[in-house]
Amino acid sequence: MATPHNAANAGDIASDVILPGDPLRAQYMAEKFLSDVKQVTGVRNMFGFTGTWKGKPVTIMGSGMGGPSAGIYSYELFKFYGVNRIIRTGTSGSFQKELIPGDLVFAQTSSTDSAWAHQYKLPGTFSPAADFGMLETAAASARAHNFRFTAGGIFSSDTFSDYSALNETTGEASWLPWARMGCLSCDMETYALYCTAAWLGKKALSILTLTDSCVTGESLPAENRMAALEPMFTVAFDIL
């Protein structure tokens, strides 16, 4: 049952999928955490692996960067491969001073500057939300492991390098209005993932690790980044 962006056969994909952006991060997670692992897809080098975690089938697959890429892969997983839940494990930039690199953010909802939801022909602005059961389990896991975390709304943008650009009218950085409205951090993929889940009646949760701060300019050292993502991985597997 191959799709344009997934070479997996029917039955190759588990009902629970962990979806990091980076396909090499998917490979790392699969090799480190899963048993009986096999690669099930690699179209455009977007690697997907299926194995077992404590006896439970799990697929880990990359989504690529940006809402359109995450939206395409999640749509095909939900629609054609019988996936019921997707857990995004991604990176994010903090919008709030008290949130520091290394913290976890659980995205309850996502705002956006994207036109993604226009395809649904809604007579207003749609605000997609995470699955509460998955969010509740994630929070319990983080508390049990004593991981720093917060939950709330985030901002998903179609642009990456524009966060610090100055608004020509106000003279302030483009992310500041979103921060004032309470958005915790920014990514590029969550809005499209949550919309896709809502459209298809499925469940999704974005677990994000803050890798840098738009407020202070602090960031995780590149050599320590993978180790800093381990708490996010732990919480994701605890949801399964």
Residue 7 within a domain: no
- Give the mean model confidence (pLDDT) for residues 3-16: 96
Q: Which pLDDT score is estimated for 222? A: 87
Quick check: 225 and 211 in contact, CB under 8 A?
Answer: yes
Looking at the domain assignment, is residue 3 inside a domain? no
pLDDT at 169: 65
Q: What would the pLDDT profile of 45-85 be if each residue is shown by its tens digit?
A: 999 999 999 999 999 999 999 999 999 999 999 999 999 99
What proportions of the chain, in percent to the nearest 5, are helix, strand and coil?
Answer: 35, 30, 35
Kind of pairing between the strands at 48-53 and 56-61:
antiparallel
Q: What are the pLDDT digits (tens) for 177-219? A: 999 999 999 999 999 999 999 999 999 999 999 999 999 999 9
**HEC secondary structure over the chain:** CCECCECCCCCCCCCEEEEECCHHHHHHHHHHHCEEEEEEECHHHCCEEEEEECCEEEEEECCCCCHHHHHHHHHHHHHHCCCCEEEEEEEEEECCCCCCCCCEEEEEEEEECCCHHHHHCCCCCCCCECCHHHHHHHHHHHHHHCCCEEEEEEEECCCCCCCCCECCCCCCECCHHHHHCCCCEEECCHHHHHHHHHHHCCEEEEEEEEEEECCCCCECCHHHHHHHCHHHHHHHHHHC
| Token duo for residue 8 | 């997996």
93, pLDDT greater than 70:
yes
pLDDT of residue 162: 62
Average pLDDT over residues 30-37: 98
**9, part of any domain:** no
For residue 153, the cross-strand partners are: 109
> Does residue 78 form part of some domain?
yes
- Distance CA(162)–CA(144), nearest Å, equals 37
The pLDDT value recorded for residue 53 is 98
Q: List, by residue number, the catalytic residues.
A: 212
CATH number of residue 225's parent domain: 3.40.50.1580
Position 146 scores a pLDDT of 98
Residue 11 lies in a domain: no
Count the domains in the chain: 1
pLDDT of 232 strictly over 70? yes
In a domain, 147, yes or no: yes
Output the pTM of the full model.
Answer: 0.96
Across the range 216-238, mean pLDDT stands at 94
Predicted confidence (pLDDT) per residue in 119-174, tens digit: 999 999 999 999 999 999 999 999 999 999 999 999 999 987 665 665 666 668 88
Domain that holds residue 180: 16-239
Structure tokens at 206: 């974005």
- Quick check: is 61 in a domain? yes
In a domain? residue 191: yes
- Confirm if 51 and 35 have CB atoms less than 8 A apart: yes
